[in-house]
Amino acid sequence: MKYEFLEHTADVKFRVYGKTFGKIFEHTALAVSEILSGGNKVDPISVKEVEIEGSDKERLLCDFIDELIYYLDAEDFLVSKAKVKVKGNKLKAKIFGDDALAYPGLDHIKAATYAEMYVKKKKDGWEAQVVVDV
């Protein structure tokens, strides 16, 4: 399982899993795509490249999600998936997606929050939990 949605009273909470720290970000992009598209498949037609630096793992993940939201709000670019490399506190990603205008009725994420957020190394990989304000 790459990610799962969890119960939350007002916002959307999900947990992501990955064999590597970078996979956490790739699976987060899939979860964000599902939230925004209402579960519809988004075609990976074009690509954006992004570099992010964060002070800690949670900050890096939060900033990554905010970057996905920015592309939707500012450039009508809807994420489909991502290919991510992380080294230390720096992330480089190729974000694949499509023109958001081709997907009517999109949902919206206002921001990622630190409420209930964590990123941890487990014996069999990595796990992170995120709550996004919708």
pLDDT (0 to 100) of residue 84: 98
Residue in 31, 30, 20, 32 with CA at minimum distance from that of residue 57: 20
Question: Do 30 and 37 touch, CB atoms closer than 8 A?
Answer: no
**Cα-to-chain-centroid distance, residue 101:** 20
* CATH tag for 3-133 (out of 3.40.1190.20, 3.55.10.10, 3.30.980.10, 3.40.50.11720): 3.55.10.10
Q: Does the predicted TM-score (pTM) go above 0.85? A: yes
Q: What is the pLDDT of residues 108-131, one digit of tens each?
A: 999 999 999 999 999 999 999 999
Q: Is the pLDDT of residue 39 over 90?
A: yes
